[in-house]
Amino acid sequence: MERNAVDKPEDASLLKVLGNWDVLALGFGAMIGFGWVVLTGDWIGSAGTLGAVLAMTAGGVIMGVVGLTYAELTAAMPKAGGEHNFLLRGMGPRWSFIGSWGIVGGYVTIVMFEAVALPRTALYLFPGLNQVPLWEVAGSQVYLTWALVGAIAAVVITTINILGVKFASVAQTFVVVLLLVIGLMLVVGSFTGGSTNNMEPLFTGGTTGFFAVLVVVPFLFVGFDVIPQSAEEVNIPARQIGRLVVIAVLLASIWYVMTILTTSSAMSAAELGEADIATADAFGAMFSSDFMSKLLIAGGIAGILTSWNSLLLGASRLMYSMARSGMLPAWFGKLHPKFRTPINALLFIGGLSVVAPFLGEAMLGWLVDSGSPSIVIAYLLVAVVFVVLRRREPLMDRPLRVGGKGNGGLLIGGAAVVLCIGLLSLYLPGMPAFLDVPPWILFGVWWALGAFFLLRIPTRITPGEDAEHRLLDALKERRALATGSSSR
């Protein structure tokens, strides 16, 4: 008989094997996905070079403030699941579920996005990849060979994660190093083959252009929160885990600003607007070499793999934690007997990423748009619970206390709340990021499924340090009553 999640055994624990660099590579790599390769030209076209830089810097500041709240809470509660634990202690199980479900939804959509982005990128390197037509989705023809590239990669990355978090982190480190080499070459190429004249116009589009860049921030920066998800597998001091959250956000901000400046220096705005993949074409123009364009695409593939690997790891740990608390079926809480990884959660998310490429290229935009609001909802709740815990539990053990012991921390938390509300408002009708119908459908389906699980969580459990234990006890009591009723 399968063990139920509420009978959580004490020996069913994750392995503490990750060091400083492993954690930083996971967080930074998760944020540097595919967007910097294909979207940079659009950012420059929408806001101009400096307009795009200012919008991205503003986005980095927003994520940095939110990251500070994560840093303190992660250091205080270094357990797998991140948001799940913060909200459970500060706001109770139902709010914990909502925040956790939001971030899982964001992670899953981006994992599926990367499974579609990989064959899209491979097509740039291998123009003859489209063979054996299958069907059309939203006007996009799906080819068997194209879809198999993403599906096979999904099987490989899922397998890597099943084999152990340390194995996955080694693979992550290798790919992040390749990505950093590509970034260094972008900077060198900009100085040797770029021109500041190409950066004109510096500003365009006014506030509309600025917000057109700002709305992609949740999608671009999601991933620093993978660090809290893997906190239970980290073998470094809790205070250092929190610091690495902020460092990862800072590095990602520098990366995106660097990409905008180097790309705009290589080609004029008009040329970038006509480019197939702007950053790759710009890289080739810097060195007057088609080979260098293809090398940049290799960097894009590296970004896909780092983001994919990190977010698969984060999503599986969060689903494992939710199952461990009884919020999700026990099946998601099963660990591999040898590798101590949440195998069923990995198989579930990996299965979705295998299917995604067969839905075609149209899924790229839908997945990004449907996942971003869920991510911001989770960030908003974390900012709120940061303030709640600062006021309710001022003596709580906080190895890393942002803003000091005075009101500085409350100011940071309040700022994070306001900034997240501002980001969320951009998705409302009439605003720049208002979603089309297909993304709203995906968003609605995800939250409808979440509502099914949410309504099964007892309402009488109050917040507190032992909220998880009281939730498990309540679920055991409910199960015992149900078993007694059925036996009669």
Sign of the torsion formed by the C-alpha atoms of 384, 71, 172 and 165: negative
Helix (H) / strand (E) containing 382: helix 363-392
Please tell me the predicted confidence (pLDDT) of residue 434: 67
Residue type, 283: F
| Euclidean distance between CA atoms 394 and 452, whole angstroms | 35
Residue type, 164: G
| Euclidean distance between CA atoms 318 and 222, whole angstroms | 15
- What 3-state DSSP class applies to 334? coil
Q: Is 362 exposed, middle or buried (0-12, 13-18, 19+ CB in 10 A)?
A: middle
Please tell me the predicted confidence (pLDDT) of residue 384: 93
Beta-bridge partners for 97: none
Return the residue matching tokens 């009708």. 429
Please tell me the predicted confidence (pLDDT) of residue 238: 64
Q: Which domains are present in the chain? A: 20-457 (1.20.1740.10)
Question: Which residue ranges of the chain lie beneath pLDDT 70?
Answer: 1-20, 34, 80-81, 164-172, 228-239, 364, 368, 406, 432-435, 461, 463-469, 472-488
| Euclidean distance between CA atoms 482 and 488, whole angstroms | 10
Contacts 24+ apart (CB under 8 A), 166-169: 166/15, 166/17, 166/18, 166/22, 168/309, 168/313, 169/17, 169/18, 169/22, 169/25, 169/26
Q: pLDDT tens for residues 203-219?
A: 887 888 888 888 777 77
